[in-house]
């Protein structure tokens, strides 16, 4: 949003997105702020973790690079539309999914710190896993 403000539809989804962009605590997930971040949206992943096949789609994947261009940090950001008023409950409901995504991404970038974040569109808040 700090490079090019988005055009949002006049719909419930657009209203939810606008709330996330207006909230100080969630806006930073949508801004580069001078950082070297590669954004991948709707990133499909497939991997074998502990002998089981994991397949999914990561809503937003941020690859943070150092001055040498190496990925040093990864943010996995997953939007949740659940009408749950308790972030801790939301975290509990989706923790296994995000931990599986983390394990997949760690196979790709073993040297990087991997952070998983749930963004609640209902609450316009985030919680790390």
**CA–CA distance, 36 with 86 (Å, rounded to integer):** 33
Token pair listed for 120: 């609640």
Say what the pTM is: 0.89
pLDDT digits 0-9 by tens, 55-109: 999 999 999 999 999 999 999 999 999 999 999 999 999 999 999 999 999 999 9
Torsion of CA 109, 110, 115, 116, to 10 degrees: 70
DSSP code of residue 68: T
């Amino acid at each position: 949003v700090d490079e090019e403000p988005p055009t949002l539809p006049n719909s419930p989804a657009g209203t939810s997105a606008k709330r996330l962009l207006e909230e100080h605590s969630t806006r930073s997930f949508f801004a580069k702020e001078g950082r070297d971040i590669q954004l991948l949206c709707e990133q499909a992943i497939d991997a074998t973790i502990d002998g089981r096949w994991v397949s999914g789609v990561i809503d937003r994947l941020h690859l943070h690079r150092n001055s040498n261009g190496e990925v040093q940090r990864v943010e996995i950001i997953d939007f949740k539309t659940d009408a749950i008023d308790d972030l801790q409950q939301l975290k509990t409901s989706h923790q296994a999914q995000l931990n599986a995504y983390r394990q997949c991404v760690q196979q790709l970038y073993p040297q990087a710190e991997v952070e998983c974040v749930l963004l609640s569109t209902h609450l316009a808040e985030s919680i790390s896993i």
